[in-house]
Amino acid sequence: LLSGAHIPLSGRNPMLQEALGIRPHVLVLNKTDLADPCRQPVSAGAGLARGRAVVTALLCVSLQIVPLVAKLVGNSPRYHRAESTEYSILVIGVPNVGKSSLINSLRRLHLKKGKATTVGGEPGITKAVLTRIQVCEKPLMYLVDTPGVLPPKLGDMETGMKLALCGAIRDHLVGEDIMADYLLYALNQRQQFGYVQRYGLAEACDDIEPVLKHVALTQGRTQKVKVLTGTGNVNMTMLNYPAAAYKFLRDFRAGHLGRVTLD
């Protein structure tokens, strides 16, 4: 259980809390295996009208979430006014945080059935609110998958960059080169220098160009281009800096640059 003071801010929609009101809800923090262990949320007292579960893997989520949701909904006065005893739950969050993966995990664990909703490693896979998906028999529980939602206006530029680095915003909307530059700044600021060894740099660097150069060299990110000369066109092999920036971002998201918490 978490206290509000320890919940990361960049991924929280400030309008969502107001919309939820006192409705019982469960906050799942995913991918904590990629977070800095020294900066992860710590245990604290429970809220009066909300349940918040922190997990380290989807399997752990799946084991906890059904009894927790059943308890929260069962204690709600609105539930006792309904004739139906089934549970209908909306899954909501920023893009690309694993909402569909969570639903599929619950189905596999409790119903022994395959995935019911498409998943992917980029935002925008779920494009519409889906019909109810059964994830448990006892108690009878349905989940509704939704497209990722973000506030209509982000509070500041740095919040937007953090969300982009985590894959909540499509890379091309921000620019891989800009994101790579901010990522290097963020890593250096937190003294996370795993990129130095991974890409064969002599030391930490605050200039993105030499970093991308080493990424391109060590990862084989090159491209063939035609150069017009006095004797005609000549094919040359050059370093592909956009591909290197994309690889830099992918390595960060996969945890290859160390366990980093941006908030």
* 97 is an annotated ligand-binding site residue: yes
Q: How far apart are CA 259 and CA 242, in angstroms?
A: 24
Q: How far apart are CA 9 and CA 45, in angstroms?
A: 19
* 100 is an annotated ligand-binding site residue: yes
* 138 is an annotated ligand-binding site residue: no
Contact 98, 146 (CB under 8 A): no
Contact 244, 221 (CB under 8 A): yes
* 31 is an annotated ligand-binding site residue: yes
Q: How far apart are CA 141 and CA 194, in angstroms?
A: 43
* 32 is an annotated ligand-binding site residue: yes
The candidate with the shortest Cα–Cα distance to 134, out of 153, 120, 113, 155, is 113
* 33 is an annotated ligand-binding site residue: yes
Instruction: Give Rg (Cα) of the chain.
Output: 22
Annotated binding site: 30-33, 96-101, 148
Annotated binding site for GTP: 30-33, 96-101, 148
